[in-house]
Structure 1
Amino acid sequence: MSQHSLLPSTITYQINRRKNHPRFVADVMLVMLSYMLAANFTNRTLQQVDVLIISGMGMGWYFSSKLTDLYNEFRTVTFIDEILALLPNLLTQFIVLVVSLFFLKDYDYTRSFTLAYVAVLGANVVLKMYSTRKIVRFWNLKGVNQRNLVIVGEMNQVDGFRDLVLRNPQFGYTILGAWGYKEPGRRTPPLLETIDFLNETSLGKVIDELVIAPSQFEESYVKGIISWADKKGILVRFTPGFFQFSASRYSLELFGNYPLITVRSTPLEMDSWWMLKRAFDVLFSAVFLVLVASWLFPLIALAIRWDSRGPVFFVQDRWGQRGRNIGVWKFRTMYHNASTVREDGGFNQTTQDDPRITKVGRFLRKTNLDELPQFINVLLGSMSVVGPRPHAVKHSLETLPKIDNYMIRHRLKPGITGWAQVNGFRGETQEIGLMRKRVDYDIWYIENWSLVLDFQIVLRTAYNMVKGDPKAF
């Protein structure tokens, strides 16, 4: 590999290191302060061994923050995403402290002290994050801490990126110049004209970052501009025609020495977030099954058996994650042996006033109580509390050829409730437009998942169960 090709990554590393260092040092100081405050709140007497424990907490914070990318550039990251990145670090602190106290056989105020420490540390770090954002935003809006930015590439891409920067002054960028070429009639971008523009723009000015925005990746064009930027030590970023694809999120990662761009990236591709969602699923479903299902399920079972003959539960084959078949548990709401196949051989969806539904079944469907046994699926790992709703196998096979991106909704585990459902897209979907809309909502959820969004969907689902959903039948 040539020397000049290493320069951009070296510059990025040095810049990120300078940004991360003060934020990391501040948080380590908060770790020490929170430890002492928690000891004071719980009347714990600090001893020499606590110095060793605090050192271990600092090391734990260092490694967990590295794994969770806690100190990534936060100019364009939302505050809630920064808090979500904090949660695994707090969990790590909890585990490190519990293990340390256990091996040191320090049992004085262990439970209250540990909980107090995590709570105080969380509050302190969140307050620091919020204050830092407010201060940086104030500086940026006042023109302090600005970065000089130049954008070159295809005109529509350049205009779109420039508008994004101008609409968000809190990002802290000043646009020194923007130059775009028109695509029609030109097979290759005008490299020489772009270089002339860059030379003129850089006269007497310092360019901090250069964004290359071609409509498609043109190797000679991008390579030529990077070569020019390398000679001046300018950080280079580029957006190679992403906007032509129907996706809202992308991520870049290194596969060995090869940079790979992921289309439709989701936070749940990171192990830390996947584990957090799984922990939420297990805890939520276990609490529900113990505190609610233990008395509610027998009452529903008695009502079903009183209303009609047949089993209480109904297990249906549906598509799960990656299209694998899973058995989804439900309370039986139809008469026993009711057919799900139409006369033409197609899947017979449930319709309003469907004669196959029993009296008790109609109430269970209206209130969504028929779906509650799926918490068993969640506990066993084939489903999640929140996710795209699983469809029957035959229904999925019929829908697959009608909607090109249908399988994207199966990248995650299916859920008991979902983003599409709380936005009114549930029940019968005979129209292709409604099918596509439901899939669009599922894909948006996959690309924009957060634990806060899951909580929001659960609350809206509970509200709809009480209020009643006109599309629930």
Structure 2
Amino acid sequence: MPEADRVLGAAPGATAASATAAAVAAPPPAPALPGPAVFSHSRLLRAFEAFVEPLATVLSLWILVGLIEGELSPRWVGLSIVAFALAYPGRPQLRASAARVIADTVLAWAWTCGLLLATGYAIDALDDFSRDVVMNWLWLAPVSQLAAHWALRQSAPQLIRLAGPPLRAVVVGMNEQGGSLADRLTMAHYTGVELLGFFDDRTPDRIHGRGRHRMLGRIEEIAGYVKKNNVQLVYLSLPMASQPRIKQLLDALKDTTASVYFVPDMFVTDLIQGRTDSICGMPVISVCETPFRGPNAVVKRASDIALSVAILLLLSPLMLGIAAAIKLTSPGPVIFRQRRYGLWGQQIFVYKFRSMTVTEDGEAITQARKDDPRVTPLGRFLRRTSMDELPQFINVLQGRMSIVGPRPHAVAHNEMYRPLIKSYMIRHKVKPGITGWAQVNGYRGETDCLEKMEARIRCDLDYLRNWSLRLDLYIIWRTIRLVFKDGAAY
């Protein structure tokens, strides 16, 4: 899920307040390349990553056209331009595992092919292109992209050396966030940063993570050390309460050429979509925000409408058959409506095919368990295959739910867990989903202990931090696979 380490930038000589206002926050996931602030080394690699996938896509098409047709006609040039635009910029994959690179590449190419084929069909242009070229391009393009990613990964150390010697860095303040930043800089590949060590005024027994990194001296000695040792990067990891001390340190660093980055202790907290913003001209920093603002909200809603309409049209005969079977096999309504919490914690009614002999929606609700006598024979099959959730695509069209998002819990369960689990209600900053990141990671079905619910909430928050349309499509793909082999729902 999304993974760039971001450091908080401030120009030398800025006050602590202005440095904080200029900061860009990020959660603390796995080690990754420094973010938008930074180094020529990272920018060089990112430039290559941005072009390697689109170029591989276009070159594979040109090779096939040359081999099969012998001439690159204008229609192929036009298709190349569209394909390049859809693939650009390429995704950062240098730190991803081989399995992740393969999965992301195949999924992204499937999405690109779908758009190209749908557009060609809509404008009646499919017959203008050679079937042999197109069919071979469907497999050669992703193979070429994977080969290009592998080549870039092998050549990355040489590319970093082309950008010049490593940038020398020090961290001021060996506390939790400073130690975490140092660990990431030490462990991460391809940053082109050499961490020299720490400056701190505390005694060794009071220092967080002492022994992991070299101590270079006291804070008052940093300006001289930076000038003497040609240090290019200084990371200030000091408590927010130390504003006069930080200002004094920034004044001392004015006499150096080092770039200064502020890593305040407020960002040790669990950030959700942390970013800078401006309210009536006043700079502010978001600590907990929804990912669905602006263009992201449009993309999310448009994908929900398109997919839900397509699914309802395709599955309408199946849904009518299920409705008839429920009516014939057990007394009660076909559709079960239950109150759930939706966006912003507002109550909504969620639709399901009735799979039990009861329709509980009160102050206390017992989750379905294995061999639960309340589940009808037909309901057991519907729950195991998740077909009981199909009416929720109507909720998606209504705008109450999304196809992918945190699964909505019954109101009674929400009220039970929200005082027990930290950040529980943050999951309601987005619309609930028919499926979600927790469900495809093994937390589907009954949560019979607090630990399982905590794990589910952690997955939901990870989804909020790292949302992208590709992640949604990946979750849908994994959900389809799980439907046929997961026995966690009953």
Same fold (TM over 0.5): yes
Offset of residue 152 of structure 1: 0.9
Aligned pair partner of 1:320 in 342, 345, 348 = 342
Give the aligned residue type for 2:312.
Answer: L
Residue number in structure 1 paired with 2:187: 167
Q: Which runs of 5+ in 1 are unaligned?
A: 186-191
When residues 437 and 194 of structure 1 are mapped into structure 2, their CA distance, relative to the original with a 3 A threshold, is same
**Cα deviation code 1:334-358 (max 9, x no counterpart):** 336x4533xxxx2222343655443
The 1-side partners of 2:160 and 2:485 are apart by 46
**Cα deviation code 1:291-333 (max 9, x no counterpart):** 4x24432332232112222321122232222223333221112
Residue number in structure 2 paired with 1:194: 219
When residues 418 and 3 of structure 1 are mapped into structure 2, their CA distance, relative to the original with a 3 A threshold, is closer
Partner secondary structure for residue 458 of structure 2: helix
Aligned pair partner of 2:389 in 365, 371, 391 = 371
The 2-side partners of 1:417 and 1:25 are apart by 33
Offset of residue 442 of structure 1: 2.0
When residues 290 and 21 of structure 1 are mapped into structure 2, their CA distance, relative to the original with a 3 A threshold, is closer
Q: Which runs of 5+ in 2 are unaligned?
A: 1-10, 23-35, 207-216
When residues 378 and 113 of structure 1 are mapped into structure 2, their CA distance, relative to the original with a 3 A threshold, is farther
* Higher alpha-carbon deviation: 351-360 or 237-246: 351-360
Offset of residue 139 of structure 1: 6.4
Residue number in structure 2 paired with 1:239: 263
Give the aligned residue type for 2:191.
Answer: F
State percent identity of aligned pairs.
Answer: 27
**Aligned positions, number:** 444
TM-score, normalising length from structure 2?
0.68
Written as runs of structure 1 = structure 2, the 5 A alignment for 1:148-159 is: 148-159=168-179
Give the aligned residue type for 1:412.
Answer: V
Written as runs of structure 1 = structure 2, the 5 A alignment for 1:392-403 is: 392-403=410-421
When residues 134 and 144 of structure 1 are mapped into structure 2, their CA distance, relative to the original with a 3 A threshold, is farther
The 2-side partners of 1:112 and 1:277 are apart by 36
Offset of residue 459 of structure 1: 2.7
When residues 363 and 440 of structure 1 are mapped into structure 2, their CA distance, relative to the original with a 3 A threshold, is same
Q: Is residue 2:388 matched to residue 1:340?
A: no
When residues 379 and 214 of structure 1 are mapped into structure 2, their CA distance, relative to the original with a 3 A threshold, is same
Residue number in structure 1 paired with 2:287: 263
Give the aligned residue type for 2:354.
Answer: R
Q: 1 or 2, which has the higher helix percentage?
A: 1
Partner secondary structure for residue 194 of structure 2: strand
Partner secondary structure for residue 236 of structure 1: strand
The 1-side partners of 2:37 and 2:398 are apart by 44
* Higher alpha-carbon deviation: 429-438 or 106-115: 106-115
When residues 400 and 231 of structure 1 are mapped into structure 2, their CA distance, relative to the original with a 3 A threshold, is same
Residue number in structure 2 paired with 1:349: 366
**Cα deviation code 1:165-222 (max 9, x no counterpart):** 222344332112321244999xxxxxx942413412431x332321111233633333
Residue number in structure 2 paired with 1:463: 482
Residue number in structure 2 paired with 1:176: 196
Offset of residue 411 of structure 1: 1.9
When residues 326 and 275 of structure 1 are mapped into structure 2, their CA distance, relative to the original with a 3 A threshold, is same
TM-score, normalising length from structure 1?
0.70
Is this contact kept in 2: 1:384–1:413, CA < 8 A?
Answer: yes
When residues 372 and 466 of structure 1 are mapped into structure 2, their CA distance, relative to the original with a 3 A threshold, is farther
Written as runs of structure 1 = structure 2, the 5 A alignment for 1:77-92 is: none
The 2-side partners of 1:27 and 1:453 are apart by 21
Residue number in structure 2 paired with 1:383: 401
**Cα deviation code 1:59-111 (max 9, x no counterpart):** 968xx96xx7x699x87788969968x959x969978x969x97xx9984399
Offset of residue 129 of structure 1: 4.3
The 2-side partners of 1:225 and 1:92 are apart by 54
The 2-side partners of 1:135 and 1:355 are apart by 61
**Cα deviation code 1:410-459 (max 9, x no counterpart):** 12221222333445545555755554443233223322445357635753
Partner secondary structure for residue 466 of structure 1: coil
Is this contact kept in 1: 2:356–2:374, CA < 8 A?
Answer: yes
Partner secondary structure for residue 171 of structure 1: coil
When residues 124 and 242 of structure 1 are mapped into structure 2, their CA distance, relative to the original with a 3 A threshold, is farther
Residue number in structure 1 paired with 2:240: 216
Q: Is residue 2:305 matched to residue 1:305?
A: no
